[in-house]
Structure 1
Amino acid sequence: MNANKLIFAGLPMIAVTYGLSRFSYGLMLPYINETINMNQTTSGVISSLSYVAYCIAIAAAMVFSHKVTSRVILIAAGLLSIIGLGAISISMNPVVLGLGIFLAGMSTGLSSPPYADIVSKNVTSKVQNQTNSWINSGTSIGTAFTGAVAMMMVDSWRITYVIFMAIAVVVLVINYNVLPRHQTVEKKLPQDTIGNAGKQSLQLISASLLLGLSCAAYWTFSRDFILSLENVPAYLGDWLWIIIGLAGLLGGTAGVFINRFGIRHAFRISAAAISTSSFLLGIYPGNAVIGFLSPFLFGSSYVFMTGVLIVWGVSVFRTNPSLGLGVPFLVLAFGQAAGSILAGMTADLFGYQILFLAASVIGYLSMVFQYKTD
């Protein structure tokens, strides 16, 4: 299968499931609250449903990868995204809103592992890393698009979600027509498991967990922190998601970088860069240049880092690409969920500066773990 054709289908699907279905809630929450009138506790619980759904779905995608085709799983992801976004758009109370967020979050977990499997079976080996990386960069496009729409449609959040749902329908149709219809399904579990992969999988899991813990502070509190800084222009806070998203396009080069310099060097650079983005916020608050540089560095390195984790995971679980992508992404999401709680407690006790400095230290510690060649 032509790699560009697969990227044409996969990149927008990731943009829809991650950007529109998952990350849009945090941006639209202030406007949703004006209609549904939720307190912070309720808003936080609903937000956590996305993480819970993501973990459940990505585990399900790994379990069922040997029972049904990747195409079926991706179509299910598209349908869940459409239904979830539709439920959000018509929600009149927290229960319906929470259901929509949960279903939309499930679409995110189902969408990533199958593409790794399709790439492994249908794309020539020399361009597999680039293909996986560019599909993964859909996260950045979806994030930037969500930020732009949120700025333009602040008074019409329901219409915004209807637009998102319409886009999800178009993307699902594209994938329905492009994804390979005939795929051999393994009737038995592949040989690769976390136990069989040994120390290499433990290195991958440990690094993913620490990076998840580190990144959570940035995803949750960076916008609030930047908006609270007197010397940083307010527009940087408004454009934060767009800066992160557009910078993330640079992360699509992860596959090319890995092919040239190797997984170990790519991981070290991405972990150092994403940790430095938090360090800069903590050590130089109020600096307008840092207010732009930090989110730019975070956006580009986050997508690059997740691309590295995909290639690292697939190289560890060679006979089960879905497991190779699913394990680091599942652990990363778990780290982000736990990190969000810890970040809130740290910010309450010590303030944002200490929070981001602590987050950077955790990120730097992830560099202790590294890919080891056979």
Structure 2
Amino acid sequence: MDSKRLIMVGLPMIAVTYGFARFSYGLVLPYIRESLDINPSEAGVISSLSYLAYCIAIIMAMLYMQKVGSRMLILIAGITAAMGMGIISMANDSISLGIGIFIAGLSTGLSSPPYADVIKKWVDQNKRSPTNTWINAGTSLGTALTGIMVIFLGTNWRLTYLLFTLIAFIILILNYKVIPKTKDTNKNRQTQAFHVTKKDVGNAYPLILSSLLLGITCAAYWTFSRDFLLQMENIPEALTQGFWIIIGIAGVLGGFAGYFSSKIGLLSSYRVSVIFLGTSSLLLGLSTSVLPVVISAIFFGSSYIFMTGVLIIWGINIFKTNSSFGLGLPFLLLALGQGFGSLIGGMVAEFIGYEVMFTVFAMISFIALIFKPKK
């Protein structure tokens, strides 16, 4: 299968499941809070439901992918994204909103491992790493499109989610037409979901710990950064509206993770992504003017996608015989960290303030520098 054709449907599906169904919540949160009267702690709990759903879904994806097929899981991901966002658009209280966020969050966990499996089965080996990282960069496309739509639709978050639902159905149909059916139907030859060696697990401990820490630190940024900007007196409205677009456009740079890791090495790529990710939160926490906020958005958008791309390569390199597990493990741990991060971030923000929260979370991300991929 042509890798470019796969990217053309895989990238927008990740844009829908991650950019629309998952991370758009942080962008429209100020309007949802005003409409449904939700405080920061409640907002953090609702956000954590998305990460909980992700954890459940990614485990289910790894368990049942070989039974139902990677193509079917991708289609189910599109269905849950559309269904969840449809519920969000009609939510009239925190409970219905939480249900929609949870169902939409399932789509993210269901979409990532299957694409790794499709790439392994259908794409030439020398093109697998860049194909994985470019599909992963769909998060940035979804983030940027979310920002653009909010600028045009303003505070009408319900209409925004209705349009997201329509787009999700279109992308679902495209994937249905393009993704091929399972290449090998012999169940006895298929890799078991958690078939890994003890040596691989031992080599994965640095990946496990770093993924958890990085998940914690980036959760606050995704959930509360724009809400924080709206409370800053010196930040013009144009920047608060364009903030998500800056993050999304900068995230396109993350698609080069596969290229840069092959040029400067996985370890150097990892360290650069972690430093930039932590610096983005630190800048936001200490910002009192426009320039640091813009730099923070650029750093976060590019480093988040770059970091997840590096973690994908790291995981797949460790678990060479089970690429879907190698991709799913760091994403699962990122989501666990993000779930804790959303809960903790919401409480810290409510009682101490956003400035302290972003500064503390930046320090947490820098701790991840002590872990490193083996050459």
Identify whether the pair has TM-score above 0.5, normalized to the shorter chain. Answer: yes
State whether residues 69 and 183 of structure 1, in contact with CA within 8 Å, keep that contact through their aligned partners in structure 2.
Answer: no
After TM superposition, give the deviation of residue 51 of structure 1 in Å: 1.5
Does the alignment pair 1:227 with 2:230? yes
What letter matches 1:290 in structure 2?
P
1:372 aligned partner: 374
Farther off after superposition, 173-182 or 184-193? 184-193
Identity of matched residues, %: 49
1:318 aligned partner: 320
1:208 aligned partner: 211
CA distance in 1, matches of 2:276, 2:41: 33
CA distance in 1, matches of 2:44, 2:317: 36
1:50 aligned partner: 50
State whether residues 129 and 259 of structure 1, in contact with CA within 8 Å, keep that contact through their aligned partners in structure 2.
Answer: no
State whether residues 48 and 340 of structure 2, in contact with CA within 8 Å, keep that contact through their aligned partners in structure 1.
Answer: no
After TM superposition, give the deviation of residue 86 of structure 1 in Å: 2.0
Per-residue CA deviations over 1:28-74 (Å, capped at 9, x if unaligned) read 34444555555655544433321211111011111112322110110
CA distance in 2, matches of 1:42, 1:226: 19
Farther off after superposition, 103-112 or 77-86? 77-86
State whether residues 26 and 224 of structure 2, in contact with CA within 8 Å, keep that contact through their aligned partners in structure 1.
Answer: no
Q: Which of residues 353, 359, 362 in structure 2 aligns to 1:360?
A: 362
Does the alignment pair 1:144 with 2:144? yes
CA distance in 2, matches of 1:233, 1:156: 20
Does the alignment pair 1:218 with 2:221? yes
2:248 aligned partner: 245
Does the alignment pair 1:346 with 2:344? no
What letter matches 2:196 in structure 1?
T
1:80 aligned partner: 80
After TM superposition, give the deviation of residue 138 of structure 1 in Å: 0.4
Q: From the superposition, tell whether residues 247 and 134 of structure 1 become closer, same or farther in structure 2 (CA, over 3 Å).
A: same
Aligned length: 372
Farther off after superposition, 22-31 or 321-330? 22-31
Farther off after superposition, 223-232 or 198-207? 223-232
State whether residues 11 and 137 of structure 2, in contact with CA within 8 Å, keep that contact through their aligned partners in structure 1.
Answer: yes
Per-residue CA deviations over 1:305-357 (Å, capped at 9, x if unaligned) read 00011111111111111111111011111111112222234345544333333
After TM superposition, give the deviation of residue 280 of structure 1 in Å: 2.2
Q: Secondary structure at the match of 2:314?
A: helix
Q: From the superposition, tell whether residues 178 and 259 of structure 1 become closer, same or farther in structure 2 (CA, over 3 Å).
A: same
Q: Secondary structure at the match of 2:67?
A: coil
Residues 128-277 of structure 1 aligned to structure 2 (within 5 Å): 128-184=128-184, 186-187=189-190, 189=192, 192-193=195-196, 195-277=198-280
After TM superposition, give the deviation of residue 96 of structure 1 in Å: 3.5
Q: From the superposition, tell whether residues 221 and 35 of structure 1 become closer, same or farther in structure 2 (CA, over 3 Å).
A: closer
Does the alignment pair 1:98 with 2:92? no
Per-residue CA deviations over 1:1-38 (Å, capped at 9, x if unaligned) read 11100100100000001111112223334444555555
1:286 aligned partner: 288
Q: From the superposition, tell whether residues 100 and 354 of structure 1 become closer, same or farther in structure 2 (CA, over 3 Å).
A: closer
Q: Secondary structure at the match of 2:68?
A: coil
Per-residue CA deviations over 1:179-202 (Å, capped at 9, x if unaligned) read 111322554526743744133210
TM-score, length-normalised on structure 2? Answer: 0.92
State whether residues 14 and 139 of structure 1, in contact with CA within 8 Å, keep that contact through their aligned partners in structure 2.
Answer: yes
CA distance in 2, matches of 1:36, 1:226: 20
Q: Secondary structure at the match of 1:198?
A: helix
Q: Secondary structure at the match of 1:231?
A: coil
After TM superposition, give the deviation of residue 113 of structure 1 in Å: 0.8
Residues 27-46 of structure 1 aligned to structure 2 (within 5 Å): 27-33=27-33, 36-38=36-38, 42-46=42-46
What letter matches 1:315 in structure 2?
N
Structure 1: gaps (5+ residues):
none
Q: From the superposition, tell whether residues 187 and 368 of structure 1 become closer, same or farther in structure 2 (CA, over 3 Å).
A: same
1:89 aligned partner: 89
State whether residues 31 and 154 of structure 1, in contact with CA within 8 Å, keep that contact through their aligned partners in structure 2.
Answer: no
Per-residue CA deviations over 1:210-255 (Å, capped at 9, x if unaligned) read 1112212322332233333333333222221111111101111111
What letter matches 1:3 in structure 2?
S
Farther off after superposition, 289-298 or 223-232? 223-232
Structure 2: gaps (5+ residues):
none
What letter matches 1:277 in structure 2?
S
